[in-house]
């Protein structure tokens, strides 16, 4: 599965019909404010540990580290990890190479869970070793994703409503601490058109 | 004539006016520094900030990126005219018009430039609940960190005790004082550990 997340996926997603990514790169004016919203929303203190599950080229890891948080990342894409931002090379690894020894304070997973086949979600939720998990998911139902962009990524395979995800998390040991369709500062541009396009779940180990 | 002109900001070393050269937006420096201030002072998203002596507004810009309501004030027409475009409407030659005071006033590398009589007038305006001042320290006309002796506009060369007394005389209590906050002016600390003072003041 990881081979789908190749150069075409990240750099030429629109023209190859694989994703909505084009020339996937570091854009500090976008990623630093998003990282700060996460810090405020979750209350991540200076020095606390954060794992970005599905870190791609490590830009959120880089932003969180710039802001004084001990962030690391994992991804299943060999292409993304081989092309990870030079500043965070030592902090981002392929999932198969990850040697997580202790529980991290926070795990963040943005735009990742909709890529995981339904039957593999429990395994991922068991793998994550964190006190708190913050997940942002593109939501949908049997008719497709609620926002048009959600339907453009070929690797989006699990298209479910917020209630389904909440139940899935609970069944696999993650209790819902907070849920919202909106966290101001993240994915704001979707709100006017598709106010329920994304779910923001803050979860705690049960 | 405004001494804080193009030469001061862009050619400070060669003109002997300051130690600034090509004064520009360097996010990898200013963003972590702004975050250090947010953490140190516990500045929340609902708090307002005045950057007193904002120059071209880079700290204002950094705070805005970090979702904090920040405005800037500077007396340099050159700096305000050449403000970063992202914060053009947020940085002023006069104090920003605003109802009530700011939660925080940040003055980094500023108070040493202002004659004490004018500083006293500034404090009388009660612009903020809390002040955070970063000031180069010195004694007998010499700043402890030599770079601070290169700026011809530095007019107050005082020890931390003298500053604390001055603030007290102006009804500002020193809540916290330290010679080091990791993440701000780190490069000075190893050689000149008492080169700067970090004062948190409250009315």
- The answer to whether position B12 is within a domain reads no
Neighbours of B93 (CB within 10 A): 12
Average pLDDT value over all residues in chain A: 95
CB contact under 8 A, A67 and B28: no
Contacts of A33 in chain B (CB under 8 A): 65-67
By CA distance, what is B35's nearest residue in A? A67
Q: Is the per-residue pLDDT at B12 higher than 80?
A: yes
Say whether residue B39 is in contact with chain A using an 8 A CB cutoff.
yes
- Of A95, A90, A103, A93, the closest CA to residue A49 belongs to A103
Predicted pLDDT of residue A154: 86
Alpha helices for B82-189 (secondary structure H): 116-124, 160-169, 186-189
CB contact under 8 A, A29 and B183: no
pTM for the predicted model, two decimal places: 0.91
Q: Give per-residue pLDDT as tens, B16-42.
A: 888 888 899 999 999 999 999 999 999
By CA distance, what is B30's nearest residue in A? A66
- Cα atoms in the 13 Å half-sphere on the side-chain side of B68: 32
Which residues, listed in sequence order, are joined to residue B107 by a DSSP beta bridge? B133
CB contact under 8 A, A66 and B28: yes
Q: Is the per-residue pLDDT at B100 higher than 80?
A: no
Q: Give per-residue pLDDT as tens, A150-197.
A: 998 889 999 999 999 999 999 999 999 999 999 999 999 998 889 999
Q: Which two tokens stand for residue A195?
A: 């106010």
Number of domains in chain B: 1
Helices (H) and strands (E) in chain A, counts: 7, 9
Alpha-carbon gap, residue A110 to B7, rounded angstroms: 47
CATH number for the region A27-205 comes to: 3.40.50.150
CB contact under 8 A, A68 and B27: no
Residues in chain A: 206
CB contact under 8 A, A66 and B32: yes
pLDDT band (50, 70, 90) for residue A78 = very high
Q: Give per-residue pLDDT as tens, B159-175.
A: 999 999 999 999 999 99
Compute the count of residue pairs across chains A and B with CB atoms less than 8 Å apart.
34
Q: Is the per-residue pLDDT at A55 higher than 90?
A: yes
Alpha-carbon gap, residue A134 to A150, rounded angstroms: 20
- Of A127, A128, A130, A148, the closest CA to residue A138 belongs to A148
Q: Which two tokens stand for residue A70?
A: 């001990």
Q: Closest partner residue to A68 among B32, B44, B67, by Cβ?
A: B32
- The answer to whether position B1 is within a domain reads no
Contacts of A46 in chain B (CB under 8 A): 39
- The answer to whether position B32 is within a domain reads yes
By CA distance, what is A64's nearest residue in B? B32
CB contact under 8 A, A36 and B28: no
CB contact under 8 A, A28 and B67: no
- Of B162, B153, B134, B159, the closest CA to residue B7 belongs to B153
Higher pLDDT, B48 or B12: B48
- Tell me, what CATH number does B142's domain have? 3.40.50.150
Contacts of B45 in chain A (CB under 8 A): 40
Question: What is the mean pLDDT of the segment spanning B41-51?
Answer: 97
What's the gap in Å between the CA of A30 and the closest CA on chain B? 9
Query: In which domain, by residue range, is B47 found?
Result: 27-202
Cβ-based burial of A50 (10 A; exposed 0-12, middle 13-18, buried ≥19): buried
ipTM rounded to 2 decimals: 0.87
Q: Which sequence spans correspond to the domains of chain A?
A: 27-205
CB contact under 8 A, A67 and B67: no
CB contact under 8 A, B45 and A29: no
- The answer to whether position B2 is within a domain reads no
- Of B136, B176, B120, the closest CA to residue B19 belongs to B136
Question: What is the mean pLDDT of the segment spanning B90-95?
Answer: 86
Predicted pLDDT of residue B19: 82
Contacts of A40 in chain B (CB under 8 A): 44-45, 67
- The answer to whether position B11 is within a domain reads no
Residue with tokens 């409250």: B202
Interface of A with B (CB under 8 A): 28-29, 32-33, 36-37, 40, 45-46, 66-68, 185
Q: Is the per-residue pLDDT at B78 higher than 70?
A: yes
CB contact under 8 A, B32 and A32: no
Q: Which two tokens stand for residue A170?
A: 């609970």
Q: Which two tokens stand for residue A4?
A: 């789908």
- The answer to whether position B191 is within a domain reads yes
């Amino acid at each position: 599965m990881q081979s789908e997340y190749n150069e075409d996926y990240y750099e030429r997603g629109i023209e190859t019909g694989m994703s909505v990514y084009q020339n996937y790169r570091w854009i500090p004016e976008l990623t630093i404010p998003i990282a700060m919203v996460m810090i405020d929303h979750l209350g991540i203190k200076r020095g606390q540990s954060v794992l970005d599950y599905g870190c791609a080229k490590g830009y959120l890891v880089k932003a969180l580290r710039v802001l004084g948080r001990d962030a690391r990342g994992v991804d299943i894409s060999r292409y993304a990890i081989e092309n990870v931002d030079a500043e965070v090379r030592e902090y981002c690894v392929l999932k198969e190479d990850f040697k997580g020894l202790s529980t991290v304070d926070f795990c963040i997973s943005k735009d990742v869970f909709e890529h995981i086949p339904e039957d593999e979600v429990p395994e991922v939720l068991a793998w994550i070793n964190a006190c708190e998990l913050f997940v942002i998911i593109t939501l949908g139902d049997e008719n497709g994703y609620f926002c048009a962009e959600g339907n453009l990524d070929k690797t989006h395979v699990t298209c479910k409503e917020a209630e389904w995800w909440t139940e899935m998390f609970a069944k696999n040991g993650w209790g819902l601490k907070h849920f919202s369709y909106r966290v101001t500062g993240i994915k704001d541009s979707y709100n006017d058109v598709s106010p329920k396009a994304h779910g923001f779940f803050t979860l705690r180990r049960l | 004539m405004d001494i804080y002109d193009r030469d001061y900001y862009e050619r400070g070393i060669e003109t002997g006016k300051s130690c600034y050269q090509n004064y520009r937006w360097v996010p990898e420096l200013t963003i972590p520094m702004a975050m250090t201030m947010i953490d140190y002072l516990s500045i929340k998203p609902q708090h307002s900030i005045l950057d007193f002596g904002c120059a071209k507004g880079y700290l204002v810009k950094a705070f805005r990126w970090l979702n904090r309501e920040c405005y800037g004030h500077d007396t340099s027409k050159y700096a305000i005219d050449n403000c970063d475009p992202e914060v053009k409407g947020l940085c002023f030659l006069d104090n920003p018009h605003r109802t009530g005071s700011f939660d925080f006033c940040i003055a980094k590398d500023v108070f040493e430039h202002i004659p004490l009589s004018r500083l006293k007038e500034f404090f009388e305006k009660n612009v903020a609940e809390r002040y955070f001042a970063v000031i180069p320290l010195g004694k007998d006309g010499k700043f402890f960190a030599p770079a601070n002796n290169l700026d011809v506009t530095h007019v107050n060369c005082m020890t931390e005790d003298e500053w604390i007394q001055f603030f007290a005389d102006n009804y500002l209590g020193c809540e916290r004082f330290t010679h080091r906050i990791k993440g701000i002016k780190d490069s000075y600390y190893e050689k000149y550990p008492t080169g700067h003072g970090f004062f948190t003041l409250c009315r």
